[in-house]
Amino acid sequence: MMINKQKLVTPENLPVIAGVEISTDMVGRFNLNALHRASGLGPNKAPTQWLRTQSAKQLIEELEKETMQNCIVSLEGRNGGTFAHELLAVEYAGWISPAFRLQVNQTFIDYRTGKLTAGNNQLPNFDDPIAAAEAWIEARKAERLALGYVERQARYINKLESHLADGITPVQFCKQLNGVNTRQINAFLEERNWLYDDRPEAMYPRWRVKAYARDQYLTERSGQVEQENGEMREIFKPLLKKKGAAWLYRHYLNGELPMKKTWDGLFTHNTELANLLQENK
């Protein structure tokens, strides 16, 4: 699996609808405020109004349950706004109007397939039955593609939980993910209240699992090793639980793990993880 975040935010790649650039955030969620401006309609069709509807709340809840990701976020600043997963953006456009949904769907298809040009973001001629039918077909295709992505993502998370959880440390797990700075992972988890160093005065930390994360995200294996002087020293090894592996992977895709300065911007995993995607599809 590969996600190139850098492409998602390249200005020349941004989809344009009615002369308005539809910006994305760093994980490819679309700016609903920009879609609202492109629709040309008033405050009654603003994203905040749609988000208050029961159907929107239910869709967001179900989508986040399936993808195990934050599917809608609010960002502050000059380029901020409400950013949403593509499925939510399309649903929002449909709430504005059926015609606008078709236009947004077609634009997103062109954006995703690299066919986006200055002249292909115009609303289809709905007085032409053939053009209208073609636009509807393309819209349905886009919806199926987006749903397919959600299903694949949920299936992959389930495979991670089933195959990689127990018996692997957070550092070992993250070594399989391109770009993660594994030297900082335990400190990162300490900030999240997962781990603590029970020997802060020592040269090297001895990581232990905190009560908050124990039996939910991590478990702990203890043992003893013989030192050069013949004395036995107690050791502890934090191990990921199923939920912990899924949490780490989700935050990896969201760009929230500590990354190397030399990271190439690609979100990939090694062959072992890739093979899980192919098992029992």
Parent domain of 145: 3-162
- Mark whether 155 and 223 lie in a shared domain: no
- Mark whether 181 and 135 lie in a shared domain: no
Distance CA 87, CA 92 (A): 9
Strand partners, 220: 238
- Mark whether 236 and 149 lie in a shared domain: no
The string of pLDDT tens digits covering residues 75-133 is: 776 667 889 998 999 999 999 988 888 888 888 887 777 665 544 445 555 566 666 66
Distance CA 281, CA 268 (A): 20
- Mark whether 139 and 184 lie in a shared domain: no
- Mark whether 9 and 98 lie in a shared domain: yes
Which of 162, 188, 216 is the last residue before a domain boundary? Answer: 162
DSSP character at residue 184: G
Which of 162, 197, 231 is the last residue before a domain boundary? Answer: 162
- Mark whether 200 and 150 lie in a shared domain: no
The string of pLDDT tens digits covering residues 185-239 is: 999 999 989 999 998 888 888 999 999 899 888 999 888 777 677 777 788 899 9
- Mark whether 122 and 151 lie in a shared domain: yes
- Mark whether 26 and 127 lie in a shared domain: yes
- Mark whether 260 and 178 lie in a shared domain: yes
Which of 133, 162, 191 is the last residue before a domain boundary? Answer: 162
Tell me what pLDDT residue 247 has: 84
- Mark whether 145 and 186 lie in a shared domain: no
Residue 278, pLDDT > 50, answer: no
pTM strictly above 0.85: no
- Mark whether 142 and 182 lie in a shared domain: no
- Mark whether 116 and 213 lie in a shared domain: no
Are 109 and 140 in contact by the 8 Å Cβ rule? The answer is no
Question: Domain total for the chain?
Answer: 2
Query: Which stretches within 164-239 are classed as H helix?
Result: 170-174, 185-191
